[in-house]
Amino acid sequence: MTPSAASSVPGAPALDIPAVTVTPGDIATTTLTVRNDSDIVEAYDLEVVGDCAAWTTVEPARVSLYPGTSETVTLRLEPPRSPEIRAGETPLGVRVLPNEHPDAVRVLETTVHVGEFHELRTDLSPRRRRGWLRGRYLLAVRNQGNTPVRVGFTPGQAGTELGFVFTPERPELKPGESAEVGLRVRTAKPVWFGTPVVWPFTVDAAEAKEAEGEDSPAGPLPDDAVVPAPLDAEFVQIPIFPKWLLALLAALLALLVAWFALVRPAVRSAAEEAATEAVRPRPTPAGEQGATGASPGTGANSRPGGGGQEPGSAATGPGGDGSGSAAEGGTAAGGRQSSETIDLRTDTGRTGVGTYKVPENSVFGVTDIVVANFQGDEGVLTIAFGDRKITTIALETFRNQDYHWVTPIEIPENDTVTISVTCDKPGTPATGRQASECHEVLNVSGVLNTTTR
């Protein structure tokens, strides 16, 4: 680099700077000659100014010259490999300050051609994803070069089982700019049974230079370009029906077979035996039999002096006239079928109690109860037979509930069947309007037996 001569100015040096080309990360030098055209000894301070000042030095930074002499100094350019050092032409200025004639200061300029460099950084997360048919990943891309680029992605796989979709497909990045790209991986067929299947794949990032106003196709990059290594990842395809689910289904099937084979016949036999025992006539003690061998109240001459039945016998209804009401449902050995209903209304925020009292000289053997919460009220309901609490239910969990016992629960005379309701919120009956109070109905059925003192 040989500078050409410049016109002299009294008290000022002759200076010329040739143009220079440098690539970020490299070092370039150029020289300039300072000549003293004055008639006195002069010292000159040299300082780099402008955009290149941060990474350009002048050596030496001060020269002293006799009249008519010259000295060559070196400009050393060391731009860092950073996206902030953009590719293109950048002005370079050197200020020359004469110590004896400071008013003759000059700033000489030239052009620095900053070369392009390419560097791309990529990252993929997560590296392992599980799913039935598809998995989603996130690609982080950053342009560490000093020129705009368009980035394209190429997936790699040993087979053709996976499909890949990038969003966006080819992002544009300025120097120093980052972007996030969504990657969706999908398989064509599900795995119904068995163990998970692992599908490994890779993702390659490639650069395409961005032309002025249009995109140029991807071409070969410079030898010093930093190309990211392929990113390795896996998609683990899990089966629709895993092993533990198959084992659970097999266990449930085995339990169901065992129920039908063993438990259900035993329960049915016990229920039939209990029903047969309930309808079987009870033996009458010999001391209570009449002369004909018949039990009292079973023959025409059971009552002394008449042909009627014994009052209060099993064949007699509640009024003693031999006819049963619809609520009683006929007669049974040792007592009569009886059914009672408790209709209870309770104000909001209060607790209401409804009872049925077992008559004197009677024992009520309860076999069935039915509870109706037809409004859908909210609160708590408790059923008790005497001092025994049978059940406590949250009203909002049912509309109709029934209980049945093979062996009757006996309630002695003067004891009660009690229903207690705490009303939190009345429900809405079929009319569609919310009720002003809770309304529950309890029906209790069983055998009412007459006792003797």
Considering its fold, how many domains does the chain have in total?
3
Write out the two tokens for 409.
């629960």
Residues 347 and 441 in one domain: yes
Write out the two tokens for 36.
């003293």
Residues 375 and 415 in one domain: yes
Domain housing 181 = 120-237
Is position 311 within any domain? Answer: no
Splitting the chain (453 residues) into consecutive groups of 10 residues, what average pLDDT does each group show? 34 65 93 88 93 93 93 94 93 92 89 93 94 94 93 91 93 94 93 89 80 46 74 92 78 86 67 59 46 40 39 36 38 73 95 94 93 93 93 92 92 94 92 90 93 75
Using DSSP bridges, classify how beta strands 400-411 and 362-372 pair: parallel, antiparallel or unpaired: antiparallel
Is position 404 within any domain? Answer: yes
Choose the final residue of a domain: 91, 114, 137. 114
pLDDT of the residue at 425: 93
pLDDT of the residue at 99: 92
Is position 259 within any domain? Answer: no
Name the region of 90 (left: φ>0; alpha: ψ -120 to 50; beta: rest).
Answer: beta
The rounded Cα 289 to chain-centroid distance in angstroms is 79
Using alpha carbons, select from 257, 443, 308 the residue that is nearest to residue 366: 443
pLDDT of the residue at 154: 92
Residues 153 and 193 in one domain: yes
Choose the final residue of a domain: 65, 98, 114. 114
Write out the two tokens for 94.
């050197």
Residues 356-365: tens digit of each pLDDT: 999 988 999 9
Give the domain CATH number at 392: 2.60.120.380
The rounded Cα 302 to chain-centroid distance in angstroms is 81
How far apart are alpha carbons 390 and 409 in whole angstroms?
Answer: 10
SS (H, E, C) the chain: CCCCCCCCECCEEECCCCCEEECCCCCEEEEEEEEECCCCCEEEEEEEECCCHHHEEEECCEEEECCCCEEEEEEEECCCCCCCCCCEEEEEEEEEEECCCHHHCEEEEEEEEECCCCEEEEEEECCEEEECCEEEEEEEEEECCCCCEEEEEEEECCCCCEEEEEECCCCEECCCCEEEEEEEEEECCCCCCCCCEEEEEEEEEEEEEEECCEECCCCCCCCCCECCCCEEEEEEECCCCCHHHHHHHHHHHHHHHHHHHHHHHHHHHHHHHHHHHHHCCCCCCHHHCCCCCCCCCCCCCCCCCCCCCCCCCCCCCCCCCCCCCCCCCCEECCEEEEEEEEEEEEECCCEEEEEEECCCCEEEEEEEEEEECCCCCEEEEEEEECCEEEEEEEHHHCCEEEEEEEEEEEECCCCEEEEEEEEEECCCCCCCCCCCEEEEEEEEEEEEEECCC
How far apart are alpha carbons 177 and 159 in whole angstroms?
Answer: 34
Using DSSP bridges, classify how beta strands 231-237 and 172-173 pair: parallel, antiparallel or unpaired: unpaired
pLDDT of the residue at 281: 52
Give the domain CATH number at 232: 2.60.40.10
Phi and psi at residue 274, in whole multiples of 5°?
-65, -40
Residues 348 and 432 in one domain: yes
pLDDT of the residue at 258: 82
Sheet containing strand 120-125, edge to edge, reads 120-125, 134-143, 178-187, 162-167
Residue 133 burial (CB count, 10 A): 15
Residues 428 and 344 in one domain: yes
Is position 7 within any domain? Answer: no
* Per-chain mean pLDDT for the chain: 81
The rounded Cα 393 to chain-centroid distance in angstroms is 34
Length, in residues, of the chain: 453
Residues 144 and 180 in one domain: yes
Residues 169 and 223 in one domain: yes
pLDDT of the residue at 270: 62
Is position 158 within any domain? Answer: yes
How far apart are alpha carbons 35 and 27 in whole angstroms?
Answer: 26
Is position 214 within any domain? Answer: yes
Choose the final residue of a domain: 96, 114, 132. 114
pLDDT of the residue at 250: 81
Residues 366 and 351 in one domain: yes
pTM: 0.49
Is position 83 within any domain? Answer: yes
Residues 69 and 172 in one domain: no
Residues 92 and 177 in one domain: no
b/e for 205-229, b at 16 or more Cβ within 10 A?
Answer: bbbbbbeeeeeeeeeebeeeeeebe
Residues 168 and 85 in one domain: no
Residues 77 and 127 in one domain: no
pLDDT of the residue at 271: 59
How far apart are alpha carbons 159 and 147 in whole angstroms?
Answer: 36
pLDDT of the residue at 220: 54
Is position 184 within any domain? Answer: yes
Burial class (CB in 10 A: 0-12, 13-18, 19+), 386: middle
